[in-house]
Homo-oligomer: A and B are copies of this chain.
Amino acid sequence: MRLSFEEIKKEIKRVFLKYGVPEEKAEICARIHTESTNDGIYSHGTGRVARFVDYIKKGWVDVHAEPVIVKEEGALCILDGNLGIGITNALTAADKGMELAKKYGVGLVGLRNTTHWMRGGSYGLYAANKGFIAFMWTNTESIMPPWGGKEVRLGNNPVVMAVPRKKGESPLMMDMAVSQYAYGKLAMTRLAGKKLPFPGGYDKNGVLTDDPGAIEESQRILPMGYWKGSTFSFMLDILAAVLSDGLGAVDLDHNGKGSCGGASQVMILMDPSKTKSLPEMETFIERSVAHLKSAALSENSTGILAPGDDYVHFREEHAKLGIFVEDVIWNEILAL
């Protein structure tokens, strides 16, 4: 089904209000969920509304809690999210980071005791659209075995990097989980009766496989780059917990508050106007993107993408045809 931005946002907001989210937060969260959907990240837009409501009902998200500053020293700040709404907590942290970056060139905010931020890229785009460079990540409960192990001990710990471009042009943006595939991708691929394009994990006998169902069964999903992603994920978790004085996977795994309930996040914001003139930066990025795309295409290539081309593509398609929402997801939201 195809709907307008306003139609989607209005319906999500209605649901959030119904489940007790205060007016202002409901407006913000409905907008972020709709933006994610508009950017093609359906799984974390319309696809997460029902789960968010479920978490409210279970008491895992406190819709009235506000993030508070627990420590501020120079360019470093720790916020306690008090298990409030992940979206508004993350926006507050990004705002604080930009305030610090404006003052000190760089600002680092550790946000602890927060809840699922939905699409991490939202905060990268938010900051880059205000002229800041963003480097952010969240830890999560474990969903991935470490290299050499077969039981989950590592989060997928999404990492976001974003850089502003020319006025009116969409920022460069990377939003990357450290697992090779998301469990959502495994399920979708299985339901379509297909195989993964590359091996995504081990089956229960320890054989590397591109069969999504076998990986869902074993829960032995691969980190990106095998041993490399395993180490990267662990370090991201340690840094997130230490820099926010919050919880790491070792605690989140027993926290019992759902996906990312109690998670720790790091947001590093930088003011590029302090390092390079903005026109120079814009020209440099244009040259770099052109250089990237100047490579001869590989066999069966659909083209070379710069980070962010994917969401721009979805926006353009949605602007023309309306925003895509799966019928089953839309009916789920209507029924809430």
B-facing residues in A126-149 (Cβ within 8 Å): 133, 135, 145-149
Oligomer: number of copies:
2
Is A149 a contact partner of B304 (Cβ separation < 8 A)? yes
Q: Which of B149, B236, B248, B295 contacts A297 (CB 8 A)?
A: B149
Interface of A is mostly: mixed
Total A residues in contact with B, Cβ cutoff 8 Å? 89
Contact call A298/B231, Cβ cutoff below 8 A: no
Q: Is the CB of B242 within 8 A of A150?
A: no
| Chain A 283-321 near chain B by CB (<8 Å), digits 1 or 0 | 011011011101111111111111100000000000000
A105 to B105, CA, bound (A): 13
Give min CB distance, A240 to chain B, whole Å: 11
Is A238 interfacial (CB 8 A cutoff)?
yes
Complex: A163 Cα to B241 Cα, angstroms: 12
Question: Which of A7-15, A30-38, A274-282 forms part of the interface with chain B?
Answer: A274-282
Instruction: Verify if A98 is at the interface (C-beta below 8 Å from B).
Output: no
Tell me if A243 and B270 are in contact (CB < 8 A): yes
| A174 in contact with B225 given A106-B106, A243-B133, A288-B238 (CB within 8 Å) | no
Are A298 and B103 interface neighbours, CB within 8 A?
no
Q: Is A234 an interface residue (CB 8 A)?
A: yes
Write the A156-184 contact mask toward B (1 if CB under 8 angstroms, else 0).
Answer: 00010101000000001010100010000
- 18 inter-chain pairs at a CB distance below 8 angstroms, sorted by A residue, are A73-B274, A74-B103, A75-B106, A104-B104, A106-B107, A106-B108, A133-B239, A145-B298, A149-B296, A150-B297, A152-B295, A154-B292, A206-B299, A224-B228, A234-B307, A242-B272, A245-B275, A253-B291
